[in-house]
Amino acid sequence: NGMFHQHTLPDYKQHTDLLEDMVIKLYSKGVTTREIANLIEKMYGSHYSPAQVSNISKQMIPKVEAYHKRKLSDKFFCVYLDATYVSLRRETFERETVYIAIGIKPNGHKEVIDYCIAPNENILVHVMRNICAKVRVEDREAIMNEFKQIHQQANKAAAVDVLHAFYAKWDKSYNHVIRNLKDIEPDLLV
């Protein structure tokens, strides 16, 4: 009747929840998706592909968004703004700046008000190096001069216009380069 229940092992759902929690914890510590997949298989005998590990770790996104949008609990006597550099996996393994706002309540308790991850200029340098490595020597100077114009604009709207003109001009000759830039466009426009 489809009512069989395994009594010697915990329900699959409970086991999956444990593994998913483990995946999220390992991923937050900077362990790669491939390494996590291998560890889970060795420790628990469950096979997770790197893509499954990546999908599980994405469950944290709504929690992070909710944290940023939460209502602040109280008034603050004092607010400190600080920054630290941490290694984050994006296009590269470069260190990025994390800006932190810490509030001190009238009773003396500290609370992290919010934080913001801001890619530093090193990412731009790596992007420019990657572009140079993938274009013909005779096009490099023109491409670099045009690409640098994006970051010399007075506002984001103007930068978007220049970037999209850059895409349109070079897409036919360097489709693979333009496709890669489109994938990281939000970071280019920070």
Residues 62 and 132: their CA atoms lie apart, in Å, by 37
Domain ranges of the chain: 12-63, 71-118, 121-188
Comparing 158 with 30, the larger pLDDT belongs to 158
Q: What is the pLDDT of residues 21-77, one digit of tens each?
A: 777 777 766 677 777 777 777 777 777 777 777 777 777 778 878 888 888 877 888
Burial class (CB within 10 angstroms; exposed 0-12, middle 13-18, buried 19+) of 170? buried
C-alpha distance from residue 160 to each of 89, 130, 150, 165, 171 (Å): 25, 20, 8, 9, 16
Residue 160 Rama label (left phi>0; alpha psi -120 to 50; beta): alpha
pLDDT value, residue 13: 46
Q: What is the pLDDT of residues 73-132, one digit of tens each?
A: 778 889 998 877 766 655 555 566 778 888 899 888 888 888 887 755 556 777 888 899
